[in-house]
Amino acid sequence: MVFNSYTFVLFFVLLLALHNLPFSWKTKKINLLGASYLFYALWNPPFILLLWLSTVVDFYMAKLISVTEEKNRRRLWLAVSLVLNLGMLSYFKYGGFLLENFTFLMNSLGISFQAAKPDIILPVGISFYTFVTLSYTIDVYRRKFAPESSFLNFALFVTYFPHLVAGPIVRPEDLIPQFKQPRKATSEQMIWGLFLVTLGLFMKVVIADGWLSEPSDLIFSLPFPVNPLDAWSAVLAFSGQIFCDFSGYSTCAIGVSLCLGFKLPENFQYPYASIGFTDFWRRWHITLSTWLRDYLYIPLGGNRVGRFRIYINLMITMLLGGLWHGASWNFVIWGGLHGLFLCIEKMVKSWTRKQSKAVIVEEMVLQAAIIPIRSKNASNFVLALLTFVLVNITWVFFRAPNFDSAVLILLCMFGVITQAPKMLSTPDMLKIGLVTLGLVTTHWNMRNRSVKNLFKSLPWWFSGSVWAVMLILIVLTQKSTGSFIYFQF
Amino acid sequence: MNYLKSVCLAGILVTLSLIGWESYLRVRGFTLSYNDDESLWASARKKVYDTSPAAPVLVGTSRTKFDIDLETWKSITGKAPVQLGIVGTNPRPVLLDLANDPNFKGTVLLDVMEEIFFLPDGSFAESSARKRLNYYPRWSLSQQAGFYINRKLEDHLIFLDEDRFSLNSLLKRLPIKSRPGVFVFPNFPINLSFTSPDGQMAFTNSFLRDTSAQHEIQSVWTNLGLLSTKRGVDGDTLTSIINSVAKSVNQIKARGGQVVFVRFPSSNPVWKAEQQAYPRKLYWDRLLKETGVTGIHFEDYPELSRYVCPDWSHLSPADAHTFTKDLTRIIEAKTKWPLQNSLSQNIL
């Protein structure tokens, strides 16, 4: 089930009504759990079993880890959890990819090997819920907290439908405690939650699906080169599309959850105003980047090792982060590019820190003399634009169907191929231009603010009118069946 | 911020706007229409397993959607055909899908509109078919439920017609000149046609009275190349197309199914252009010969060729009614299938 569907509207209305009836807290949690399984099953019922398996195994492995003092035994139970979750993920998500590359490798070595292409369905949300349960067992192993004694609370934590299929990747310590006490949304939370759902749907339905998906899909599906302006437009369209689609989903998830009385973490913080790639990963898919930091980068040594090792750790983290997104070398390249830019940024920062001590006196003299004081805001904006451009270049690999297409688009973007047809109409380019300008401007102005604070500062009639305009545009756009991009990850 | 006042204002503004918009469309005389999308197609695709020739599967372009009147067919045979036609789309991928479905043993009426039918594999004209064929196997329970909920709303709200009144469709009608050299799909007249829940398409009364709208659609066909007399594919490409159709036909026949080709009417100048670009001997006759399939060409029957298409390419609703009656009679005579039920035999 997707948020942008009549089925979900009906489901949510019924669930809200049920959640606000005078049942016991335990009954309400059972209702939420049942609703979450139903939410998932309406996509493909048999795959509930995988979700169930992950839930049951991790609940009991965590219990065993916590009652065992013997180091090897604890490691064994953790290994069971890791093998199950990563095994499921490997099979369903990477099975075909691994076989394809194995076949290629064998054939490259002159060994004739062919295997029938396996027809494996990727269970929706598997990348997300396996990471959620893994963080639980790993944190219990690290003795960060005691395992949850209530199976109901744990099962609800794993399966809670707002975050189940596309995040935010919630940490146990953020969500499980919320299930321990009865919770119901206050009227302010309910209204704000509904506003967030509207905002999320507006981003997804109107902007991502309505205005940006068609030009992006058209150009990226073409087997021939296009005019440089069309290539840039398609990449900017995808850049806007993936942000509005994914951030729209997360915003809906947070809003839906708030209507039920539960708080989910923010997942995006105006990433297209990032100043550098370190800042980008503090603003883009925040719950994934913090998960990778805590369970991959830091265990590898993080920043606590020598400079060369830091760069290696960064690259490993980003390469695996790229691979998490999909079973394709294009995603690995995307992750690798981000890793590379992060490393370059670290090198530059390290070098400038050394230089700045030497020149600080010189600069003070110069500035006092004839050179006007440089605006930090202006230079930050320029750096943010540079970051935005580089992020867009990496999106080419993320979106292109294969490596050759990605290279073709880049050659078109940078004018290496110039004699190529124009494909996008003026209205499409106007929409892309408007959205890109709107996104960059909004992100820059909002980078240190929150939507809630902004709306609190506005008159009620203005907020109400903006809300109405978003709802009307959602109804008029009507692309109600498109699923979210991150469902495929 | 006063949250309650904001939400109340938003609710009032949305309700008034949508009521106003719906009222405006009704006052303007627009007809209720259903979205002819992947979900509608999927709902029809589920129903193809009746093996009776009285409930054939209609595979083709918009001609099959306009020219066969489903209610008339049902009144004659007692069973409704299943409409799998897709506007502006090559029907060969759908034929292949039915051929590869081991459970399909029914009857196919296949629309042969030469300028689309004889396009090479992988052409742009297959994209809508590919979308539907990818969508159908993954049509989840949630999507099915959404479809039926949407159906209830579509029963009453004109503005839910995505093709005509969605935000993007309305924006496409703005007079913004496009970049030179960029092909922009022309807009059809907004009062051209409507779609029924069973996939039936028909011209609106307003279009049939509006000669300027008819000139507009004729201009669209001209822009889309329907008047082109450039010879269609030939050589190995044509042979490959015919062979693939023959293979699909044989697969269906081997399971006890049936296939009949139908060439629906078109009027001059489109008919004249089609004859030049796709001479009957080289395309239609060769297709029938090499597939061994019965074919019904409108040109061969006075009762099928007496019509004038208002837009050169599709029949009016009244003509579709009589055309369908005559077509069922001709199919029955040619194939000896028992199509007419006892009730219709008394009427006819």
pLDDT of residue A95: 83
* Average confidence (pLDDT) over A13-32: 95
B127 touches chain A (CB under 8 A): no
- Tell me if B162 and A6 make a contact (CB, 8 A cut-off): no
- The reply to whether omega before A118 is within 30° of 0 (cis) is no
Q: Are strands B258-263 and B107-111 parallel, antiparallel or unpaired?
A: parallel
pLDDT band of A206, cuts 50, 70, 90: very high
pLDDT at A19 over 90: yes
B37 touches chain A (CB under 8 A): yes
pLDDT band of A488, cuts 50, 70, 90: low
Q: What is the pLDDT of residues B305-322, one digit of tens each?
A: 999 999 999 999 999 999
pLDDT of residue A428: 93
Strand-pair partners of B296? B262
- The Cα A118–Cα A168 span in angstroms is 30
pLDDT of residue A373: 44
* Average confidence (pLDDT) over A192-211: 95
B172 touches chain A (CB under 8 A): yes
What residues 5-34 of chain B have any CB closer than 8 A to a CB of chain A? 5-11, 13-14, 17-18
pLDDT at A157 over 90: yes
Percent of chain A with pLDDT over 70: 93
- What value of ipTM does the predicted structure carry? 0.90
pLDDT at B1 over 80: no
- The Cα A192–Cα A257 span in angstroms is 11
Amino acid at B168: N
pTM of the model: 0.91
- Tell me if B179 and A425 make a contact (CB, 8 A cut-off): yes
pLDDT band of A338, cuts 50, 70, 90: very high
pLDDT band of B341, cuts 50, 70, 90: low
pLDDT band of A375, cuts 50, 70, 90: low
- The Cα A93–Cα A90 span in angstroms is 5
Percent of chain A with pLDDT over 90: 72
pLDDT at A194 over 90: yes
Candidates B7, B39, B170, B171: best to mutate against A (most CBs of A within 10 A) is B7
- The Cα A486–Cα A128 span in angstroms is 10
pLDDT band of A113, cuts 50, 70, 90: confident
Candidates B2, B14, B149, B163: best to mutate against A (most CBs of A within 10 A) is B14
B/e letters for B66-97, b = 16+ CB within 10 Å, e = fewer, are: bbbbbebbbbbbbbbbbbbbbbebbbbbbbbb
The gap from C-alpha A354 to its chain's centroid, in whole angstroms, comes to 35
If you search the block for the tokens 């076949």, which residue do you land on?
A103
* Facing A5 at nearest CB: one of B10, B142, B171: B142
Q: What is the pLDDT of residues A305-332, one digit of tens each?
A: 888 999 999 999 999 999 999 888 999 9
pLDDT at A38 over 80: yes
pLDDT at A360 over 80: no
- The Cα A395–Cα A204 span in angstroms is 18
Amino acid at B23: S
Distance from the A39 Cα atom to the nearest Cα atom in chain B, whole angstroms: 8
- The Cα B211–Cα B209 span in angstroms is 6
Long-range own/partner contacts, residues A78-83 (CB < 8 A, 24 or more apart): A78/A137, A78/A138, A78/A141, A81/A57, A81/A133, A81/A134, A81/A137, A82/A134, A82/A137
Q: What is the pLDDT of residues B54-88, one digit of tens each?
A: 999 999 999 999 999 999 999 999 999 999 999 99
pLDDT of residue A372: 45
The gap from C-alpha B275 to its chain's centroid, in whole angstroms, comes to 22
pLDDT at A107 over 90: no
Q: What is the pLDDT of residues A43-56, one digit of tens each?
A: 878 889 888 999 99
- The Cα A369–Cα A71 span in angstroms is 66
pLDDT at A367 over 60: no
pLDDT of residue A439: 96
Q: What is the pLDDT of residues A398-432, one digit of tens each?
A: 999 999 999 999 999 999 987 899 999 999 999 99
pLDDT of residue B342: 46
* Average confidence (pLDDT) over A154-163: 94
B254 touches chain A (CB under 8 A): no
Q: Tell me if residue A443 is catalytic.
A: no
pLDDT of residue A233: 97
Considering chain A, what is the average pLDDT of its residues? 90
CB A270 within 8 A of CB A442: yes
